[in-house]
């Protein structure tokens, strides 16, 4: 199996107030194509930071990182943006929606940056919307939707481009059991049907158990 | 274009207060830059015109502000004595304007008549677009046609070679004149003592003045002509003697300033006020720049999530920078167009009011100086746009996308 993620971190530092915090010292991670990996650990150990590095959202670290066989350091600003658009889907918390846009516009946002208009975008949009059951809220603004609806909208935006890698940060946090089950089912269906590689950061032990591998950060 | 339209309607204009604020600041910056550049250019033009009199032994007359005399008190005989003395002892350049005549023309403008003698014409004659310059070999006694220059605005009604009759406001009678030249478009003269104050000669008739003309002219012409009299090849003692003679003869106290006196005057009054204007404008512009930067950074902070979510799903920083450039360039263009409209309206208003001395040719009456000042404003805009676009992009780069998304 091809390595989708090949990360060898020396360390990652960031500033917290006047002090400097070092995380993920000598941390390595390899994820193969189609694998489902859960990242668990106490708060503050660097789970989300790790996800940001994997998703090319954070480039300030020491070490090496190869994504889909390409060194992340060699990606230009434009390439990095294109990869975030086409190859990586981010499933974040429900609040990661633009409040002034309708749910439909939020979901369609990645299509705006597609390098070439792709055939079947409309069909793909309908498919995603149907599978998530959010057809009735498309014209609503995020503030008019429930937490579950917003989470599904965030999920829809993450998978609209049919990404090769899906990075999920606490995807079930603050969801009721019905919506939680729905999101988990959708995440794994994506892995099963499209072969997407899934990396999930979670505190939810039962969700972590459903992954192929669990990595505990300390 | 699709992305820019999206950003314009869904991000930049989502909080109109920021767009309106930025537009107002751009307007202020453009207007200040335009006004300052215009003032400096206008003063420089006047200064360059004054340099025509930058010669050793040249003195410019000016009625003392404290001198109180009325035209009625002065007889033709006494003022003629002054001119006789000038003719016999001095080299003088005479120029006066501001007298008006009714001369039919397509624009319906009341026509100003300007007068200059040969020495003035040699020193600072009008640039000619057609025909020859002024000639002075005519005789009022023989009732020759007086060879005159006309402004560009009268050239259609009174083309080169045309003879016509007009009421001469200096001679106070009808005279026959012949067009021997057309003054170059937008020819301008600055006031000696207010370099920013201009007169344009697009609708003027310029009459050559001879000794005989001065003798026949009305006393008001003779007095007016003394106001800006220029003496050449003389010295301070002779000039002082002339001043005393004028005072004694017609009871009017004239000051006669050398070029150096005038330069000293400019340095003392005009340039210090110009310097004050420039420094004040500069400080105001700096304040406007700081306010613009502050407002741009606040708007980025308020809309952080919108920007970073777009960055997360495929917007590159390079493209974001271009979006900021386009947005601020659009605002600056609107502001520049507004300043252009104000300048054009102001110039065009002189045409509506038929103010012959201020009617200028150009798009809506705008002249080279206006365009240069607009160019300065647009250069300032360019710098401001670049500064704001770079700063806002830099600010967004400093915030990790992952944090911005959740703000």
Cα(B49)–Cα(B119) distance, integer angstroms: 16
Q: CA A150, A156, A159: angle at the middle one, nearest 5?
A: 145
pTM (global) more than 0.90? no
**Under a CB-based contact definition with an 8 Å cutoff, are residues B91 and B233 in contact?**
yes
**Under a CB-based contact definition with an 8 Å cutoff, are residues A127 and A135 in contact?**
no
**Selected residue of A78, A82, A98 to mutate for chain B interface (largest B Cβ count, 10 A):** A98
B1 touching A (Cβ < 8 Å):
no
A109 touching B (Cβ < 8 Å):
yes
**pLDDT over 80 (residue B270):** no
**pLDDT over 60 (residue B261):** yes
Interior/surface letters B53-75, b for 16+ CB within 10 angstroms, e for the rest: beeeebbbbbbeeeeeeeeeebe
Chain A residues touching residue B306 (CB < 8 angstroms): 98, 100
Domain layout of chain A by residue ranges: 33-57+77-216
**pLDDT over 80 (residue B259):** no
Can you give the pLDDT at residue A31?
94
User: For chain A, what is the HEC assignment?
Assistant: CCEEEEEEEEEEEEEECCEEEEECCCEEEEEECCCEEEEEECCCCCHHHHHHHHCCCCCCCEEEEEECCEEHHHCCHHHHHHHHHHCEEEECCCCCCCCCCCHHHHHHHHHHCCCCCCCCHHHHHHHHHHHHCCHHHCCCCHHHCCHHHHHHHHHHHHHCCCCCEEEEECCCCCCCHHHHHHHHHHHHHHHHHHCCEEEEECCCHHHHHCCCEEEEEC
Q: Distance between alpha carbon B162 and the CA centroid of its chain, in Å?
A: 31
Q: How far is A200 from chain B (nearest CA, A)?
A: 15
**pLDDT over 70 (residue A94):** no
Query: Using CB atoms within 10 A of its CB, is residue B404 exposed (0-12), middle (13-18) or buried (19+)?
Result: buried
Chain A residues touching residue B405 (CB < 8 angstroms): 92, 96
Say whether B2 and A109 touch across the interface (CB within 8 A): no
**Under a CB-based contact definition with an 8 Å cutoff, are residues A18 and B361 in contact?**
no
**pLDDT over 80 (residue B25):** yes
A114 touching B (Cβ < 8 Å):
yes
Chain A residues touching residue B5 (CB < 8 angstroms): none
A110 touching B (Cβ < 8 Å):
yes
Query: What tokens were used for B113?
Result: 């008549």
**Selected residue of B5, B306, B321, B402 to mutate for chain A interface (largest A Cβ count, 10 A):** B402
Can you give the pLDDT at residue B163?
96
pLDDT over 90 for what percent of chain B?
65
A101 touching B (Cβ < 8 Å):
yes
Can you give the pLDDT at residue A59?
83
Can you give the pLDDT at residue B65?
65
Q: Distance between alpha carbon B85 and the CA centroid of its chain, in Å?
A: 36
More confident residue, B196 or A68: A68
Q: Please, which pLDDT band fits residue B68 given cuts at 50, 70 and 90?
A: low
Say whether B314 and A101 touch across the interface (CB within 8 A): no
Give DSSP secondary structure letters for B181-228.
Answer: EEEPTT-EEEETTEEEEEEE-TT-EEEEE-HHHHHHS-HHHHHHHHHT
The β-bridge partners of B230 are B60, B93
Say whether A77 and B2 touch across the interface (CB within 8 A): no
Q: How far is A83 from chain B (nearest CA, A)?
A: 7
Q: How far is B315 from chain A (nearest CA, A)?
A: 6
Q: Please, which pLDDT band fits residue B175 given cuts at 50, 70 and 90?
A: very high
A77 touching B (Cβ < 8 Å):
yes
Say whether A93 and B316 touch across the interface (CB within 8 A): no
Q: What is the DSSP letter of B365?
A: G
Can you give the pLDDT at residue A174?
74
B106 touching A (Cβ < 8 Å):
no
Say whether B314 and A105 touch across the interface (CB within 8 A): no
A52 touching B (Cβ < 8 Å):
yes
Can you give the pLDDT at residue B71?
52
pLDDT digits (tens, 9 = 90+) for A48-70: 888 889 999 888 888 999 999 99
Mean of the per-residue pLDDT values for chain B? 90
The β-bridge partners of B199 are B189
More confident residue, B390 or B194: B390
Question: Closest-CA residue in chain A for B306?
Answer: A98
Cα(A129)–Cα(A138) distance, integer angstroms: 9
Considering only CA atoms, which of A156, A163, A205, A157 is closest in space to residue A182? A156
B312 touching A (Cβ < 8 Å):
yes
Place of tokens 């055939």: A119
Considering only CA atoms, which of B282, B326, B400, B218 is closest in space to residue B36? B282
**Under a CB-based contact definition with an 8 Å cutoff, are residues B3 and A112 in contact?**
yes
CB < 8 Å from A in window 207-246 of B: none
User: Which of A78, A80, A109 faces B313 most closely, judged by CB atoms?
Assistant: A109
B314 touching A (Cβ < 8 Å):
yes
Q: Residue B174: in which H helix or E strand, if any?
A: strand B173-183
Give the CATH fold of the A33-57+77-216 domain.
Rossmann fold (3.40.50)
What are the phi and psi torsion angles at A33 (to 5°)? -60, 130
**pLDDT over 70 (residue B66):** no
Cα(A10)–Cα(A29) distance, integer angstroms: 12
A121 touching B (Cβ < 8 Å):
no
Give DSSP secondary structure letters for B67-110.
Answer: ----GGG--HHHHHHHHHHHHHH-EEE-EEEEEEE----TT-PP
Chain A residues touching residue B310 (CB < 8 angstroms): 109, 113
A85 touching B (Cβ < 8 Å):
yes
Considering only CA atoms, which of B143, B144, B145, B118 is closest in space to residue B133? B118
The β-bridge partners of A67 are A5, A70
Mean of the per-residue pLDDT values for chain A? 88
How many CB pairs below 8 Å do chains A and B form together? Answer: 74
Query: What tokens were used for A86?
Result: 């086409």
């Amino acid at each position: 199996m091809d390595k989708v993620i090949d990360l060898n971190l020396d360390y990652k530092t960031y500033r917290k107030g006047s002090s400097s915090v070092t995380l993920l010292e000598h941390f390595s991670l390899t994820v193969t194509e189609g694998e489902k990996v859960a990242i668990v650990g106490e708060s503050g150990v660097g789970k989300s930071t790790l996800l940001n590095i994997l998703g090319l959202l954070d480039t300030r670290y020491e070490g090496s990182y190869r994504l889909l066989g390409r060194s992340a350091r060699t990606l230009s600003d434009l390439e990095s943006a294109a990869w975030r658009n086409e190859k990586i889907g981010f499933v974040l918390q429900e609040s990661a929606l633009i409040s002034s846009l309708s749910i439909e516009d939020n979901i369609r946002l990645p299509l705006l940056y597609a390098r070439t208009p792709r055939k079947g975008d409309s069909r793909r949009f309908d498919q995603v919307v149907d599978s998530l059951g959010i057809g009735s809220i498309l014209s609503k603004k995020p503030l008019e939707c429930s937490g579950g609806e917003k989470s599904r909208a965030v999920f829809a935006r993450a998978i609209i481009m049919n990404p090769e890698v899906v990075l999920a940060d606490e995807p079930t946090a603050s969801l009721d059991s019905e919506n939680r089950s729905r999101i988990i089912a959708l995440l794994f269906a994506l892995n099963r049907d499209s072969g997407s590689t899934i990396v999930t950061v979670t505190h939810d032990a039962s969700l972590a158990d459903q992954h192929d591998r669990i990595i505990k950060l300390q | 274009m699709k992305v820019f339209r999206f950003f314009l309607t869904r991000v930049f204009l989502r909080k109109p207060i920021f767009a309106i604020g930025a537009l107002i600041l751009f307007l202020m910056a453009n207007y200040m830059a335009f006004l300052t550049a215009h003032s400096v250019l206008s003063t420089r033009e006047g200064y360059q015109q004054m340099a025509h009199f930058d010669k050793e032994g040249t003195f410019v007359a000016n009625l003392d502000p404290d001198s109180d005399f009325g035209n009625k008190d002065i007889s033709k005989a006494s003022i003629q004595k002054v001119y006789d003395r000038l003719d016999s002892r001095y080299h003088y350049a005479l120029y006066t304007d501001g007298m008006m005549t009714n001369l039919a023309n397509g624009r319906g403008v009341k026509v100003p008549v300007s007068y200059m003698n040969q020495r003035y014409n040699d020193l600072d004659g009008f640039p000619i677009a057609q025909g020859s310059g002024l000639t002075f070999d005519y005789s009022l006694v023989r009732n020759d046609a007086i060879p005159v220059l006309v402004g560009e605005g009268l050239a259609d009604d009174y083309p080169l070679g045309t003879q016509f009759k007009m009421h001469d406001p200096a001679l106070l009678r009808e005279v026959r004149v012949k067009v021997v030249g057309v003054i170059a478009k937008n020819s301008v003269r600055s006031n000696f003592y207010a370099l920013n104050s201009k007169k344009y000669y697009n609708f003027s008739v310029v009459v050559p003045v001879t000794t005989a003309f001065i003798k026949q002219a009305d006393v008001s012409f003779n007095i007016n002509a003394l106001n800006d009299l220029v003496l050449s090849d003389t010295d301070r003692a002779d000039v002082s003697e002339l001043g005393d003679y004028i005072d004694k003869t017609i009871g009017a106290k004239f000051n006669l300033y050398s070029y150096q006196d005038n330069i000293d005057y400019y340095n003392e009054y005009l340039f210090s006020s110009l310097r004050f204007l420039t420094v004040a404008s500069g400080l105001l512009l700096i304040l406007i720049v700081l306010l613009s930067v502050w407002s741009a950074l606040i708007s980025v902070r308020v809309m952080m999530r919108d920007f970073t979510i777009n960055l997360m799903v495929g917007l590159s920083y390079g493209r974001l920078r271009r979006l900021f450039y386009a947005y601020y360039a659009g605002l600056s263009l609107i502001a520049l167009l507004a300043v252009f409209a104000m300048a054009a309206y102001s110039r065009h208003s002189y045409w509506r009011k038929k103010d012959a001395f201020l009617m200028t040719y150009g798009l809506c009456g705008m002249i080279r100086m206006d365009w240069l000042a607009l160019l300065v404003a647009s250069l300032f805009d360019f710098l401001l746009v670049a500064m704001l676009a770079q700063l806002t992009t830099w600010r967004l780069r400093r915030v990790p996308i992952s944090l911005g998304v959740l703000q």
